[in-house]
Amino acid sequence: MIRVLALILVTSIAGAQDLLVKNARVITCAGSDLKIGCVLIKGGKIAEVGEKVEAAGVPVIDGRGKVVMPGFVLPHTSAGLDGRNQNEMVPVTPYVSVLDAIDPSLPFFEDCLRDGNLSICVMPGNRTMIAGMGRVVRPWGATVESMTVAAEPGLKISVAPTSGNRAAWIAKLRAELEKGRRALEKQELEGKVGDNERTGNIALDLEAMGAKKRQLALFRLLKGDLRAHVVCQTAGDVLQAQKLAAEFKLKTLLVCGPNTWRAAKHLAKEKIPVVLSSTMVIRETDTETGEEIERIIPKIFHDAGVKFAITTSTGNLGGRYAWYQAACLVRYGMSREDALAAVTRIPAELIGIGARKGSIEPGKDGDVLILTDDPLSGRAWVEQAVIGGEVVYERSRAPRLAEVFGGGK
Amino acid sequence: MRDGRLVAGRALIAATLVLFLSVRADGQGTLAVRGHVLTLGKPATIVIEDGKIARLLAPGAAVPSGAKVIDLGSDGWVLPGLVLADSSEYAPAPADASAVNPAVRAVDGYDPFVPRPLLKASGVTSLYLSPGRNRLMPGCGSVVRVGVDPLDVVLEQRAALHVIVTPEAYNPPNLFKPAIPPGPDNPHTSPEQQFPRSRAGAFAALRQILAEGRALKAKTGSEESALPGNPRLAGVVEVLDGKRPLRVRAERAADIRALIEIVSGTEIKLVIEGGTEAWRVADELAKAKAGVILRAGTPPSGRLAQPEPFESDRGRGHPAAARRLTAAGVRVALVPARDGGAEDLLWYALDALPGAAGIDAVTATAADLVGVGSQAGRIAAGRSADLCVFDRDPTTHPEARPVVVISRGQVIHDLTEGDRPIAVLAKRVHTVSGDVIEDGVVVIDDGKIVAVGKDVVIPNGARRIVTETVIPGLIDAGGQVGIRSLRDAGDAGIQPGVALPPQGMDKRPSDLFDPTFPNVRPLAESGVTTIAVTPSGGQTTCGVLSVMKTSGRAGDASVVRAIGGLLLDYSRAKGAPGTLLSGLKKQLTSGKKYKDSWDKYEKDLAKWKKENPDAARKTSRERKVGKVSSPTVYDPLTGTWEGTIVGFDIESKKATLSVSLKEDKAKGTITVEDVFDAQAFDVTFKDDAFKIEVVVDGQKHRFTSNLADEQVSVSWEKDDAWQGFGSLRRISGVPVHEELAKDAGDKDKTAKKNDKETGKGRPKQPKKVAAQEPYRALLEAEIPVFVGLADERVAKAIVKLLRDDFELTTVVISPGVIPKLSDFLAEQGCGYAPPGNPVLQIKGKRVVTTLEAVRKQIPVAMRSGWNGDGRTLYAAAAYAVRCGVRSGDALKMVTRWSALILNVADRVGAIEAGLDADLVLLSGPVFQPGTRVNQVMIDGRFVGEEIR
């Protein structure tokens, strides 16, 4: 009921592709910020950013006292998938795609609007060896297709075993990749792999699909057409992912859990950017002294010089907010600019939408947030969320907030 | 045969350890290692470039300029990096469901990022990782390098294909493939049983796999079948071709015979792992050119395998087995009897095969048998630079451990870096408290003397210093050094000549002592390592002495005793003896009263603690909390101490902080508004209350709370805008003591406990009076009283008062009274602390007061005096020898006796294990004319050497 109401309300204010936000503080996440500035969006794209911008016939939002910044980019999440289990138990399912599981009506997407997450890379869960295709979506739209920002950002792979048996897991993964490579070579010899073939909204009738189609995503991965989003749990996993990437010439994006911190220096040396999981602090017991040590993961990566994006998690109270994660990064010693980049520009670059999202620059998509306060102040609300120049969310008209707070704030 | 341990006599002949460090300007580190190369049987210089051994030079040859040289002198011994031919503790052994998994590589379970300091220190530079033991064919073993760049770690991914024929592999899991979904048309099938469940099955399966491999090879050729496309047969063909060894874990002679039969007539290279009974088939093994990786050596408190009638499958090799096998011509690599045990690998190996054969079994042969013989295990030009360097011959010294380990040209372990033990090898060690040790060794570690003697084990990697004579650091029983003077203690500049005048009893010279003052260092260089810094005499009560080190180290590091003695000077006192005596008596009586009040308190407290054990424990914690007034820096970014945000209520802008003191002394939850701007929480503890300072928007806000209260209201100080906030906000949750938290559910109990914790009936602590503290220490005989005397009658009365009435440790500082009162002083048990070695002229006769005192068995502690120069202390003692004092006694006058008189003999004054490492190294016999102080060590550091 509320959901429907929300749709109606918001639809009524949306529709336009042009918008001018005036007199607001502008955090561009791309170089210098404007203390008082304007952002002009035309045809869904950012047309101009400056201290004074005028445009006739364009709807204007007066941002006096407000802060404008690019929408947050979530580089890796399995939220947004319908159903209880986000993992397949069969270890190798490259033919699975989150496309079939993203549910636009999930409260998660509504939360994303309220929290300012305007680009979300939805990926299958972490527990399957070759888990399937992900998708980058925006939290706005009635169908997955209309939400899609990037259809096939990459294939999810896990080098961290679900059971504690690393060598066997890697042996199996290597065998699967090798099998795929052989099949690909055979297919190519026979000239059967067309570049225009895509995995997509496929019926999960494996028999009907035939072996070739089932392996299509794997073929594309092996041909460098897809990126592998590789989940790593330990520092050794990082190396393993790097070695497999070299062996099979894969394009990879490493999604690193907290225990990968020992590889930070190595990653910096090899200039490999990563997506860090939302857990920022872990406690370890020193095996030699028995002393408990606190490790602040993003600080270790930052000090080592690794470029990273940070994810949010739906599990904990603060960690679900991208601004909270950025604030924590500041707390752990990063500069404001770097911290904000880790939730906007860098994740956009890493998941391959850097040309369109992640900063307020002319030419990029008109995805901006109008906040009531500085994002790191801890008291900033998303006043309005703008996607492609359309105001898709207004706090004053958000029915759920109105219900909770009795008339809204 | 050499003595098993390195004794001083031998070591003395050895040259001093030399370590030249230099790096080529362009940063390209060429390394040169000098030493006796055990595997070559001669000394050599090994030049390492780009991770490889570039060439071997004659020992004297010039090394490339700019090369970093590792040279442990004539005691340096060099071995190839050790090869641990079997290990399962560094990579978790995989156990796949299938009994046959040749595609598994052990290295995939190895995390090269894990720091393994013990492994790096062991000298092992190549490590064989076992793929597991409980499947017939668990996979391929891998060889990794230790301590190198993670990308460089793998030496051989598939070093050998493993087969296990021992009973460990006889229980593979059933392969359970349930139908999905099960139904009437698709019923559950029973799980598939796997080979092998028996010894016969294991061998049948092995033959089957090899046969399949042969068939595949015949069909496709080796190229194709080598690829892991066929998971069941991956790598089997390579084994059939002899490209990599077939490594079979087998213990029994019968099994080994069967294996020899299987591989005979094929190209297969057989390596037996385990091999308890391999010696029984030694000749057959030699004939089949099979190698054996033997668990050997005698495990401490372990069991030896019984030779008859039958040995267990998991048995351990008998040490003699290795000898029998090598005698038969079988290649043997040794692994420790204990699994893992890399740090003792060499010891186990040498126990089983002494000398060169043992070394070979953990280097060259081990490398050959794990399939990396061309890359590791030998010292030769062109090979990977894997070396371990010892500072004694490891074949004769069981305690030898690598001092430097080099893996692929990188130093991965270096005992010569940082603070390391020091061994002073001397012709004469004057322990002072005991005998003079000829050709003795003093071992120093962590600022303390750890061992003294003739037959002392020198720690591995210790810095060796060879010298003539060692005496303890000298003690000046009274002098003035490091004092900027009371008047000029501020910034008025340095005035070395200004004396420390008599002061009040509440003053401590240690507070005035500046360890960096220019006259401290020369004193230290002269051999004086400890000095009782004393005020000048001239008044009846001159003040307190502080016993200090001359190490130049700041803060408490230089203080031995802040209240180290008391100085009374009656030598110039005017007035009737009666008045003087009654004045002194009054002074001491008041001190005694003070001491008694403390004695009573301590007695009462002990009694109370016994009666109220719970409350007593609580109080001790309380006191600890109170101490956290200067919190340790917990997080360098946020400053002092911080809470963790555990919850955030976005609507009310309220964050809940869980606060816990780092050492777990108090915990609780605090709610603070607008916390995100508040990045620092400054917490101070005082008694039972704590105070938190929160910086919000650049403004400081404070609230305070009482730890003992259950529900605490927060009151904000300062800042009007926050007024009223306190009445609204409360600390939610209960700041509780750890112990109370356990009983959180039981409120009554808590209440009772709270009652107890207030400390009812606890004795009241007397007030501390700084001016009385010296008397307390004095009356408890912790410190001596130095007393200046002149008039014979007054002197006797005062000494009697001090000794008889108050039982004080009394030390006479005036030489003048010695000739007449020496008998009396000896009888009273006094000490004598003269300035230098005073010689009096009495009626034309020379009276050496120190000699006089020593003859009467009065202990003498020499002091430099308040106008003297402590640098002449050694000379003063030497002059005493010239005046007829035995040199042993003269040495005690500046060391042991001073320490005893000052009651610091548990720290300084002798060369004994456990005492501070304060040593003076002399160029010749002590007090012999011409002998000079060469080096002085204070707290384990040589004066003049930079503190590292």
Q: State yes or no: pLDDT of A347 exceeds 90.
A: yes
Q: How many CB atoms lie within 10 A of CB A288?
A: 9
Q: What does the alpha-carbon distance between residue B345 and residue A363 come to, in Å, rounded to a whole number?
A: 66
Q: State yes or no: pLDDT of B403 exceeds 90.
A: yes
* Closest among B628, B660, B629, B667 to B643, alpha carbons compared: B660
For residue B115, list chain A residues with Cβ-Cβ distance below 8 A.
262
Nearest 10 degrees: Cα torsion A165, A166, A171, A176: 90
Local structure of residue A196 (DSSP, 8 states): T
Residue A175 binned pLDDT confidence (cut-offs 50, 70, 90): confident
| CATH number of the domain encompassing residue A264 | 3.20.20.140
Least confident span in A9-23, B337-351, B728-742, B783-797:
B728-742
State the Cα angle at B323 between B321 and B328, rounded to 5°: 95
Range of A11's domain?
Answer: 1-71+358-409
Say whether the peptide bond before residue B309 is cis (omega within 30 degrees of 0): yes
Same domain, A126 and A225: yes
The better pLDDT of the pair B568, B91 is held by B568
For residue A404, list chain B residues with Cβ-Cβ distance below 8 A.
651
* Closest among B197, B195, B125 to B155, alpha carbons compared: B125
Q: State yes or no: pLDDT of A102 exceeds 50.
A: yes
Q: State yes or no: pLDDT of B752 exceeds 80.
A: no
For residue A179, list chain B residues with Cβ-Cβ distance below 8 A.
229
Helix, strand and coil percent figures for chain A, each rounded to 5: 35, 25, 40
Q: What does the alpha-carbon distance between residue B749 and residue B730 come to, in Å, rounded to a whole number?
A: 24
For residue B646, list chain A residues with Cβ-Cβ distance below 8 A.
317
Nearest residue of chain A to residue B140 (CA atoms): A167
Enter the tokens of residue B228.
């892991």
Q: What is the pLDDT of residues A203-227, one digit of tens each?
A: 344 445 556 677 888 888 998 889 9
SS3 letters across B666-729: EEEEEEEECHHHCCCEEEEEECCEEEEEEEECCEEEEEEEECCCCCCECEEECCHHHCCHHHHC
Cβ separation A171–B108 shorter than 8 A: yes
User: Is B131 part of the contact surface with chain A (CB cutoff 8 Å)?
Assistant: yes
Q: What is the pLDDT of residues B623-648, one digit of tens each?
A: 322 222 222 222 222 222 333 333 33
**DSSP-derived 3-state class of residue A194:** coil
The better pLDDT of the pair B500, B920 is held by B920
pLDDT of residue B923: 94
| CATH number of the domain encompassing residue A17 | 2.30.40.10
Q: What does the alpha-carbon distance between residue B782 and residue B773 come to, in Å, rounded to a whole number?
A: 11
pLDDT of residue B197: 85
**Count of the separate structural domains present in chain A:** 2
Of A263, A331, A332, the CB nearest to B113: A263
Mean pLDDT of A244-267: 94
Most confidently modeled range among B405-414, B494-503, B666-675, B699-708: B405-414
Cβ separation A165–B101 shorter than 8 A: no
Nearest residue of chain A to residue B642 (CA atoms): A331
Cβ separation B104–A331 shorter than 8 A: no
Least confident span in A22-26, B57-61, B127-131, B594-598:
B57-61
Q: What does the alpha-carbon distance between residue B456 and residue B5 come to, in Å, rounded to a whole number?
A: 8
Nearest 10 degrees: Cα torsion A377, A383, A385, A389: -120
Cβ separation A167–B677 shorter than 8 A: no
Chain B: nearest CA to A110, how far in angstroms?
17
User: Is B83 part of the contact surface with chain A (CB cutoff 8 Å)?
Assistant: no
User: Is B186 part of the contact surface with chain A (CB cutoff 8 Å)?
Assistant: no
pLDDT of residue B360: 95
Same domain, A232 and A297: yes
Cβ separation B113–A239 shorter than 8 A: yes
User: Is B645 part of the contact surface with chain A (CB cutoff 8 Å)?
Assistant: yes
Same domain, A296 and A151: yes
User: Is B677 part of the contact surface with chain A (CB cutoff 8 Å)?
Assistant: yes
User: Is A167 part of the contact surface with chain B (CB cutoff 8 Å)?
Assistant: yes
Cβ separation A377–B104 shorter than 8 A: no
Q: What does the alpha-carbon distance between residue A131 and residue B489 come to, in Å, rounded to a whole number?
A: 75
User: Is A262 part of the contact surface with chain B (CB cutoff 8 Å)?
Assistant: yes
Q: State yes or no: pLDDT of B151 exceeds 60.
A: yes
The end-to-end CA distance of chain B, in Å, is 40
pLDDT of residue B432: 93
User: Is A186 part of the contact surface with chain B (CB cutoff 8 Å)?
Assistant: no
User: Is A327 part of the contact surface with chain B (CB cutoff 8 Å)?
Assistant: yes
Q: What does the alpha-carbon distance between residue B407 and residue B411 come to, in Å, rounded to a whole number?
A: 6
Cβ separation A239–B151 shorter than 8 A: yes
Structural domains of chain B ordered from first start: 20-81+397-414 (2.30.40.10), 475-588+772-908 (3.20.20.140), 622-757 (no CATH)
Q: State yes or no: pLDDT of B320 exceeds 90.
A: no
Mean pLDDT of B131-143: 89
Q: Domain boundary at A357, A380, A398, which?
A: A357
Same domain, A387 and A274: no
User: Is A170 part of the contact surface with chain B (CB cutoff 8 Å)?
Assistant: yes
Strands A130-133 and A154-158, sheet pairing:
antiparallel
Mean pLDDT of B832-861: 91
Same domain, A107 and A227: yes
Cβ separation B101–A168 shorter than 8 A: yes
Locus of tokens 């701007």: B677
Q: State yes or no: pLDDT of A382 exceeds 90.
A: yes
Mean pLDDT of B222-239: 65
CB A300 within 8 A of CB A261: yes
Residue B865's φ and ψ, nearest 5 degrees, are: 85, 160
Query: Which residues have CB under 8 Å from A153's CB, separation 6+?
Result: A121, A134, A135, A136, A227, A229, A351, A352, A353
Most confidently modeled range among A374-378, B304-308, B693-697: A374-378
Q: What is the pLDDT of residues B507-542, one digit of tens each?
A: 888 888 888 888 889 999 999 999 999 988 888 888
pLDDT of residue B162: 92
Chain A: nearest CA to B663, how far in angstroms?
11
Query: Which residues have CB under 8 Å from B719's CB, separation 6+?
Result: B699, B701
Cβ separation B101–A376 shorter than 8 A: no
pLDDT of residue A24: 93
pLDDT of residue A404: 80
Q: How many CB atoms lie within 10 A of CB B522?
A: 15
Burial of B925 (0-12, 13-18, 19+ CB in 10 A): middle
Window 30-49 of A, Cβ < 8 Å to B: none
User: Is A105 part of the contact surface with chain B (CB cutoff 8 Å)?
Assistant: no
Q: State yes or no: pLDDT of B809 exceeds 80.
A: yes
**Taking the mean position of all CA atoms in its chain, how far away is CA B425?**
23
Residue B836 binned pLDDT confidence (cut-offs 50, 70, 90): confident
CB B104 within 8 A of CB B148: no
Q: State yes or no: pLDDT of B469 exceeds 60.
A: yes
Q: State yes or no: pLDDT of A333 exceeds 50.
A: yes
User: Is A83 part of the contact surface with chain B (CB cutoff 8 Å)?
Assistant: no
For residue A288, list chain B residues with Cβ-Cβ distance below 8 A.
117-118
* Closest among B240, B239, B253, B246 to B290, alpha carbons compared: B246
Same domain, A281 and A395: no
Residue B176 binned pLDDT confidence (cut-offs 50, 70, 90): low
User: Is B637 part of the contact surface with chain A (CB cutoff 8 Å)?
Assistant: yes
Same domain, A90 and A192: yes
Q: What does the alpha-carbon distance between residue A98 and residue A94 come to, in Å, rounded to a whole number?
A: 11
Mean pLDDT of B253-275: 92
User: Is B675 part of the contact surface with chain A (CB cutoff 8 Å)?
Assistant: yes
Cβ separation A167–B648 shorter than 8 A: no
Cβ separation B113–A266 shorter than 8 A: yes
pLDDT of residue A167: 87
Preferred mutation among B133, B230, B650, B675 to probe A, highest tally of A CBs within 10 A: B650
pLDDT of residue B170: 84
pLDDT of residue B183: 67
Q: State yes or no: pLDDT of B662 exceeds 80.
A: no
The better pLDDT of the pair B90, B422 is held by B422
Chain B: nearest CA to A293, how far in angstroms?
12
Same domain, A36 and A145: no
pLDDT of residue B559: 92
Same domain, A330 and A273: yes
Chain A: nearest CA to B107, how far in angstroms?
7
Cβ separation B648–A165 shorter than 8 A: no
Mean pLDDT of B606-627: 56
Q: What is the pLDDT of residues A105-134, one digit of tens each?
A: 888 999 999 999 999 999 998 888 999 999
Least confident span in A114-128, A142-156, B284-298:
B284-298
Same domain, A107 and A197: yes
For residue B227, list chain A residues with Cβ-Cβ distance below 8 A.
178, 182
% of chain B surpassing 90 pLDDT: 39
Cβ separation A171–B105 shorter than 8 A: yes
Same domain, A80 and A62: no
Nearest residue of chain B to residue A170 (CA atoms): B108
* Closest among B300, B258, B299, B301 to B277, alpha carbons compared: B258
pLDDT of residue A210: 58
For residue A170, list chain B residues with Cβ-Cβ distance below 8 A.
105, 108-109
Q: What is the mean pLDDT of chain B?
A: 77
Q: State yes or no: pLDDT of B719 exceeds 60.
A: no
Q: State yes or no: pLDDT of B210 exceeds 70.
A: yes
User: Is A285 part of the contact surface with chain B (CB cutoff 8 Å)?
Assistant: no
pLDDT of residue B488: 45
Q: What does the alpha-carbon distance between residue B466 and residue B922 come to, in Å, rounded to a whole number?
A: 11
Cβ separation B231–A175 shorter than 8 A: yes
Q: What is the pLDDT of residues A20-29, one digit of tens each?
A: 999 999 999 9
Residue B740's φ and ψ, nearest 5 degrees, are: -65, -35
Chain A: nearest CA to B225, how far in angstroms?
13
Cβ separation B113–A262 shorter than 8 A: yes
Preferred mutation among B111, B230, B697 to probe A, highest tally of A CBs within 10 A: B111
Of B109, B674, B676, the CB nearest to A167: B109
pTM of the model: 0.75
Preferred mutation among A248, A262, A301 to probe B, highest tally of B CBs within 10 A: A262
The better pLDDT of the pair A49, A190 is held by A49
Window 91-120 of B, Cβ < 8 Å to A: 91-92, 94-96, 101, 103-115, 117-118
pLDDT of residue A243: 92
Of B92, B113, B151, the CB nearest to A235: B113
Same domain, A345 and A401: no
Of A165, A171, A182, the CB nearest to B103: A171
The amino acid sitting at B165 is V
Nearest residue of chain A to residue B228 (CA atoms): A175
Strands laid side by side in the A130-133 sheet: A130-133, A154-158, A227-232, A251-256, A274-276, A308-310
Q: State yes or no: pLDDT of B928 exceeds 50.
A: yes
